[in-house]
Amino acid sequence: MSLLEIENLVVEFQTASGPFRAVDGVSLKVDEGEVLAIVGESGSGKSVSMLAAMGLLPWTAKVTADKLLFNGRDMQKMSDADRRKIIGREISMIFQEPVASLNPCFTVGYQIEEVLRVHTDLNRKARRDRAIELFQLVGIPNPEERLGHFPHQMSGGQCQRVMIATALACNPKLLIADEPTTALDVTIQKQILDLLMKLQAEHGMGLIMITHDMGVVAETADRVIVQYKGRKIEEADVLSLFQNPRSVYTKALLSALPENAVGGRLPTITENLTDQQIFEGAVR
């Protein structure tokens, strides 16, 4: 049984000019201990499909799916209250902008202990001990002191570590990382990725890594899904994808990597491809 199983997920937003389909028939599976990367350019529906799975989209979004199972439980048939018992505890998510993702009015300690208060029976002292332990786990120095700090007193990298610690607080089975390194500078990106991979291996969690960075994919993923304009274009294990891409879009995506540049000029993905060619060349 897969940890997360999604079949034919469709997300539509009601806009002034009619419904807009952001995700169009995406299917995916993630197993325990597996790292799945979802790659695609901005607007390809990577984040929206994961937010939809967690039930975090605004009410203007209409989400339908043939199957939306977490650990064998149907997320679509669950009440909101039951879903809230799963998200934050069994499925957690970290986001792209770590500083903006933390509430500026509360200390980071409050924000991490809050998850424990909602999802566990730990008392105040135990929650604080667990928070300190989590801060140590993600490599935040002086955790006792740091718990009393506000997000604006920390760097972007530190805030992302806080987010990761918060996400790991209840030992989730699945962690969804939505471009966790995009807003950070290169050296910090490496540290955060290494940390995520280490924790994933130690805890045996399923990890869904949403990214548009093929370098991150190569370094982290077991399996890769390529998305374009809300549709799945290709799914493959990471080696096959890089060595033997089958869809025209994936080939174009890889040839646009700086290390693959020929003749001192980088091709853009869509300059030689129309949407029709991309969708016709899709390998599901």
Partner 1 sequence: MLRFILGRLAVLIPTFLGVSLIAFSFIRLLPGDPVMLMSGERVMSPERHAELMNQLGLDRPMYIQYFDYLGGLVTGDFGSSIVTKRPVLDDFLQLFPATLELSLCAIIVAVCLGIPAGVLAAVKRGSWIDQTVMGAALIGYSMPIFWWGLLLIIFFSGYLGWTPVSGRISLMYFFPQVTGFMLIDSLLSGQAGAFKSAVTYLILPTIVLATIPLAVIARQTRSAMLEVLGEDYVRTARSKGLAPLRVVGIHALRNAMIPVITTIGLQVGVLLAGAILTETIFSWPGIGKWMVDSVFKRDYAVVQGGLMLIAGVIMLVNLIVDLLYGFINPRIRH
Q: On the CB side of 33, how many CA atoms lie within 13 Å of its CA?
A: 4
Rounded to the nearest 5 degrees, what angle is found at the Cα of 84, between the Cα atoms of 79 and 88?
155
Question: Which amino acid would we find at residue 221?
Answer: A
13 binds partner 1 (CB under 8 A): no
114 binds partner 1 (CB under 8 A): yes
> Given the complex with partner 1, which of 140 and 217 has the nearer CB atom?
140
Taking the C-alpha atoms of residue 7 and residue 183, their distance in angstroms, rounded to an integer, is 31
For the record, the structure tokens of 46 come out as: 């990577």
Q: Which of 66, 118, 129, 185 binds partner 1 (CB under 8 A)?
A: 118
Taking the C-alpha atoms of residue 36 and residue 28, their distance in angstroms, rounded to an integer, is 9
> Given the complex with partner 1, which of 172 and 230 has the nearer CB atom?
172
Only one of the segments 16-24, 93-101, 249-257, 272-280 lies at the binding site for partner 1 (rule: CB under 8 A); that segment is 93-101
Q: Which residues from 234-273 bind partner 1, rule CB under 8 A?
A: none
153 binds partner 1 (CB under 8 A): yes
Q: Which of 30, 52, 86, 177 binds partner 1 (CB under 8 A)?
A: 86
Q: CB–CB of 180/96 below 8 Å?
A: yes
Task: Tell me the C-alpha to C-alpha distance, in Å, between residue 195 and each of 30, 125, 203, 240.
Answer: 20, 27, 12, 26
Min CB(137)–partner 1 separation in Å: 18
> Given the complex with partner 1, which of 53 and 233 has the nearer CB atom?
53
Please report where in the chains the tokens 């069994």 appear, as a residue: 90
Only one of the segments 101-109, 205-213, 219-227, 232-240 lies at the binding site for partner 1 (rule: CB under 8 A); that segment is 101-109
> Given the complex with partner 1, which of 150 and 279 has the nearer CB atom?
150
In three-state secondary structure terms, 259 is helix
- Residues near partner 1 (CB under 8 A) are 54, 56, 83-89, 92-93, 95, 97, 100-106, 114-115, 118-119, 150, 152-153, 163, 166
